[in-house]
Amino acid sequence: MERRKQKEALKKKQEELKKKTEKELKDFKKELEKKVGNE
């Protein structure tokens, strides 16, 4: 039972990390497009 809880928590953390990374990637791409558009 305890192991399953740890697994769930780990999975949740990975999901949150993935979402955060995807958001940062989108923001990064936006910034990049702005820079390229200004040149």
CA dist 30 → 9, 10, 21 (Å): 32, 30, 14
**Pairwise CA distance, residues 29 & 39, whole Å:** 16
The pair of structure tokens assigned to 2 is: 């305890």
CA dist 33 → 15, 25, 39 (Å): 27, 12, 10
pLDDT tens-digit map of 5-31: 999 999 999 999 999 999 999 999 999
Number of separate domains in the chain = 1
Domain membership of residue 27 as a residue range: 1-39
The pair of structure tokens assigned to 37 is: 């558009």
**Pairwise CA distance, residues 11 & 17, whole Å:** 10
Q: What is the pLDDT of residue 39?
A: 72
Q: What is the pLDDT of residue 38?
A: 81
